[in-house]
A and B are shown apart, each in its own frame.
Chain A
Amino acid sequence: MNLAEQIRNKAKELLESKTVECVIGYERATDGLTARPLFVYEPEEVGKLIFDQTCTHNLVKYLLNRRDKATAIVVKPCDSRAINLLLNEKQIQREKVLIIGVVCPGIVETSWNQTSEKLPARCQLCRQHTPVVYDFLVGETPPTEPAVPKPYADIVEMEAKSVAERQSFWAEHFSRCIRCYACRQVCPGCYCSECFVGQLDPLWVGIRIAPSENQVWNAIRAFHLAGRCIGCHECERVCPVNIPLMLLNQKLEKEVGELFNFQAGLSAEALPPFATFQKGEKLGIGE
């Protein structure tokens, strides 16, 4: 039985037994090639569910719209880390979520009406082919996780550039930002009921779409995700003007890893560094 069939059977079982109200998974998009999120409420509709290498989306954010409703969700390993993040930050209840974890073969690069055979960088560098949290596992766990040659290669390359080079690199990219906030909307880590950009007093950013404001928006979002970004790359995928957002997020992921030996979402219990203060912890100031 392939992955899709296993998911359909499980979804049908969960809906028929009324264990959940809804199963969030994937279906085929209108281009006939790529995938899109699917919400299944009736057991008769599970036939629409698919799972293949075009299933790029991280569906975990939808759990935040269904906090008090029993929901099943299909997750890849990277997505599953987002579930741990939300559990860690007490945004969802474990008992309300039924996690259908998929042993992921890697996603191929897709865009509207286009698929490929190519795995994006994040899949090539992936160290977790089995979800880190799940209730039901679909697919066979590989015997060993692959070793990853040269993690953060592109970050190291950026770090080698001079300040002036980096400034000009980012100035050019941010000049195209139209502040659609698609990056924020798709990110499971961005769930504040009032984002700092909506605040009037103090006015951190405001509505003006101009290079310096764009820089503040993107930089601060990256800081708010430091130690929290689980690396699904959805922000970069949805950006309409191709800003390489993951360079920022992964830079901070690398820093947090080096400073605190911590990676977001690997366990639901691990304390996130920027949300935790231990008694006796050194502040590193004036000592």
Chain B
Amino acid sequence: MKPENPFLPYLATLQNVTDLTYDVKLFTLEFNDPAVRKSFDYKVGQFVFLSVFGIGESPFTFVSVPYKTGLEHAIRRVGTVSSALHELEPGAIVGVRGPFGNCFPLEEYKGKNIFIIGGGIGMAPLRPIITTVVDHREDYGDLVIINGARTPKDLVFAPEFDTWAKSPGTRLELTVDRGDENWKGRVALVPSVVSELKLSPQNAIAITCGPPIMIHFTLIELKKLGFTPNQIVTTLERKMKCGLGKCARCNVGLKYVCQDGPVFTLEQVSELIEEF
């Protein structure tokens, strides 16, 4: 059920706001209109624009999965809108516009080994992929999760590490750029973990998201290991305003990140003509 004016958001109320780290919060929303609650659907990888009325609108991917109720976003306090969201308490009304963009083709990934390589808040769009694979374990091959962050305090989904690690045929490799007095785990950059684990491209998909520099070096390692460009998937960011492919803000080459992305294979990224 789409509102006629594609600029008009649905109204939603914040149900829950929890701290995930010192600058990342988990927001759970529910639509005010019961008809929208019933009909709203999205796919893993898609995003919506969240509005704090009077402040503005910004795009955020879902970190929840569509087959469970509850819409969730993990948002880091970085800019104007995210900071305004961080000030809100449960009960506050926000706007939700979408869903926009393409999705991770999870059906196509069935039967394959899934390598999730994420850094910092980049884990947010990857989390629903992990949830889906863990919940439908037999449908997928091996699952390897390389989750990096600047420091242990920046690891976003710590409460779920146990569930992930205990899932059969799953390997969880955490790493930080800098440890602290309590950290007993690995201290290494994400790309070096990729090379250390010698991930095999055989029947595999590598999905990566994180700071641009991490993605850059991760791609180098994956290519060295023999991954082809259509075996590497990422979700990319650009400043967005309309989400409708009209205002041309997120135009990169022949594509609009809000419509043709944000999920791109490396093959698609290299076809973009303008450097990403």
Binding site for B on A (CB under 8 A): 200-201
User: Smallest CB-CB separation from A200: which chain B residue?
Assistant: B80
- A interface footprint on B67-92 (CB within 8 Å = 1, 0 otherwise): 00000000000001000000000000
Q: Which residues of A lie under 8 Å from residue B80 when comparing CB positions?
A: 200-201
Residues facing A in B147-192 (CB within 8 A) are: none
- The prevalent SS among residues of A at the interface is loop
User: Smallest CB-CB separation from B83: which chain A residue?
Assistant: A201
Please measure, in the bound complex, the distance between the C-alpha atom of A201 and the C-alpha atom of B56, giving whole angstroms. Answer: 12
Q: Which residues of B lie under 8 Å from residue A200 when comparing CB positions?
A: 56, 80
Q: Which residues of B lie under 8 Å from residue A201 when comparing CB positions?
A: 80
Measured CB to CB, the closest approach of chain B to A207, in angstroms, equals: 11
User: Smallest CB-CB separation from B80: which chain A residue?
Assistant: A200
Measured CB to CB, the closest approach of chain A to B12, in angstroms, equals: 23
User: Smallest CB-CB separation from B56: which chain A residue?
Assistant: A200
Measured CB to CB, the closest approach of chain A to B37, in angstroms, equals: 32
Q: Which residues of A lie under 8 Å from residue B56 when comparing CB positions?
A: 200
Measured CB to CB, the closest approach of chain B to A130, in angstroms, equals: 48
User: Smallest CB-CB separation from B81: which chain A residue?
Assistant: A200
User: Smallest CB-CB separation from A201: which chain B residue?
Assistant: B80
Please measure, in the bound complex, the distance between the C-alpha atom of A200 and the C-alpha atom of B80, giving whole angstroms. Answer: 8
The 3 closest A-B pairs by CB, nearest first: A200-B80, A201-B80, A200-B56
A sample of 3 inter-chain contacts (CB < 8 A) reads A200-B56, A200-B80, A201-B80
- A interface footprint on B35-66 (CB within 8 Å = 1, 0 otherwise): 00000000000000000000010000000000
Please measure, in the bound complex, the distance between the C-alpha atom of A201 and the C-alpha atom of B80, giving whole angstroms. Answer: 9
Measured CB to CB, the closest approach of chain B to A69, in angstroms, equals: 24
Please measure, in the bound complex, the distance between the C-alpha atom of A121 and the C-alpha atom of B18, giving whole angstroms. Answer: 66
Please measure, in the bound complex, the distance between the C-alpha atom of A201 and the C-alpha atom of B55, giving whole angstroms. Answer: 10
Measured CB to CB, the closest approach of chain A to B144, in angstroms, equals: 41
Please measure, in the bound complex, the distance between the C-alpha atom of A172 and the C-alpha atom of B174, giving whole angstroms. Answer: 64
Please measure, in the bound complex, the distance between the C-alpha atom of A200 and the C-alpha atom of B79, giving whole angstroms. Answer: 11
Please measure, in the bound complex, the distance between the C-alpha atom of A226 and the C-alpha atom of B118, giving whole angstroms. Answer: 52
Measured CB to CB, the closest approach of chain A to B187, in angstroms, equals: 36
Measured CB to CB, the closest approach of chain B to A202, in angstroms, equals: 12
Please measure, in the bound complex, the distance between the C-alpha atom of A273 and the C-alpha atom of B83, giving whole angstroms. Answer: 38
Please measure, in the bound complex, the distance between the C-alpha atom of A201 and the C-alpha atom of B81, giving whole angstroms. Answer: 12
Please measure, in the bound complex, the distance between the C-alpha atom of A176 and the C-alpha atom of B222, giving whole angstroms. Answer: 56
Please measure, in the bound complex, the distance between the C-alpha atom of A148 and the C-alpha atom of B56, giving whole angstroms. Answer: 53
Measured CB to CB, the closest approach of chain A to B83, in angstroms, equals: 9
Measured CB to CB, the closest approach of chain A to B86, in angstroms, equals: 14
Please measure, in the bound complex, the distance between the C-alpha atom of A200 and the C-alpha atom of B57, giving whole angstroms. Answer: 13
Measured CB to CB, the closest approach of chain B to A274, in angstroms, equals: 30
Measured CB to CB, the closest approach of chain A to B192, in angstroms, equals: 35
